[in-house]
Chains A and B, each alone.
Chain A
Amino acid sequence: AQSVTQLDSHVSVSEGTPVLLRCNYSSSYSPSLFWYVQHPNKGLQLLLKYTSAATLVKGINGFEAEFKKSETSFHLTKPSAHMSDAAEYFCVVRGGSNDYKLSFGAGTTVTVRA
């Protein structure tokens, strides 16, 4: 079975400063990992995905994430936050014998201060 833990339920940053969202995963198999973003009253949008290729993954809107197997982590970063980054972010793992099921973290809400 697989699961994810998002270590922060809420992160607040100033515009122009770095953003770090932390995610640890548990999986019995070589996992596929995703980060999704959800803006208010909207569905989830894929930011990036890791599928056992390069460990540093670049996504849309300047986000990137690094897969660290030894630490079972997949943290999301952005060098400089923008007001439009205010949203909820979900770390997601997909793996195991049934490839159709995703396991979602509880989410991290990002607030960006002007």
Chain B
Amino acid sequence: NAGVTQTPKFQVLKTGQSMTLQCAQDMNHNSMYWYRQDPGMGLRLIYYSASEGTTDKGEVPNGYNVSRLNKREFSLRLESAAPSQTSVYFCASSEAGGPLQPQHFGDGTRLSIL
């Protein structure tokens, strides 16, 4: 079972370059999420998509854009990368809404911006 697949796993960018992180899930989940993980800060929500065709901002959306391409895929774009965006990025998915549904995570994309 693939679950949540993120590509690429590692990437190094120069300041000002653009980049799209890809995420796909095969569990037929309605909701998808993008987080960033920084040391000592847990995970912080960047954007989420409650269902196909909708996206909303999370805690730290500045400098990012997202696209919910279809039910399976949810991409995260950095238009002009900055060193402060060096982080590990996680995509997650869950069944539609409600407090009972846990989120399933991919293995992460490790992004360094020089």
Q: Which residue numbers of A lie inside 8 Å of B, CB to CB?
A: 9, 31-32, 34, 36, 41-46, 49, 51, 90, 94-95, 99-102, 104-107
Name 28 interchain pairs, CB-CB below 8 A, sorted by A.
A9-B40, A31-B99, A32-B99, A34-B102, A36-B105, A42-B107, A43-B90, A43-B107, A44-B43, A44-B90, A44-B105, A45-B105, A46-B103, A46-B104, A51-B99, A51-B100, A90-B42, A90-B43, A94-B99, A95-B99, A100-B31, A100-B33, A100-B97, A101-B45, A101-B48, A101-B58, A102-B103, A105-B42
Q: What is the distance, in angstroms, from A55's C-beta to the closest C-beta of chain B?
A: 16
Instruction: Count residues on chain B whose CB falls below 8 Å from chain A CBs.
Output: 26
Interface set, chain B 26-50, CB cutoff 8 A to A:
31, 33, 40-45, 48, 50
Query: Given the interface contacts A32-B100, A94-B99, does A100 sit within 8 Å of B105 by beta carbon?
Result: no
In the complex the two chains form, what is the Cα distance from A43 to B108 in whole Å? 6
In the complex the two chains form, what is the Cα distance from A31 to B58 in whole Å? 19
Q: A46-B102, A99-B97, A106-B42 are in contact. List 5 more A-B contacts (CB 8 A).
A: A32-B100, A42-B108, A44-B92, A45-B105, A46-B103
Q: In the complex, which residues of chain A have a beta carbon less than 8 angstroms from the beta carbon of B107?
A: 41-43
Q: In the complex, which residues of chain B have a beta carbon less than 8 angstroms from the beta carbon of A95?
A: 99
In the complex the two chains form, what is the Cα distance from A31 to B100 in whole Å? 10
Query: Nearest residue in A to B4 (C-beta to C-beta)?
Result: A43
Q: In the complex, which residues of chain A have a beta carbon less than 8 angstroms from the beta carbon of B104?
A: 46
Q: In the complex, which residues of chain A have a beta carbon less than 8 angstroms from the beta carbon of B105?
A: 36, 43-45
Tell me which of B33, B45, B99, B106 has the highest count of chain A C-beta atoms within 10 A of its own C-beta: B99
Q: In the complex, which residues of chain B have a beta carbon less than 8 angstroms from the beta carbon of A31?
A: 99
Query: Nearest residue in B to A9 (C-beta to C-beta)?
Result: B40
Q: Check: B98 CB closer than 8 A to any chain A CB.
A: yes
In the complex the two chains form, what is the Cα distance from A107 to B45 in whole Å? 16
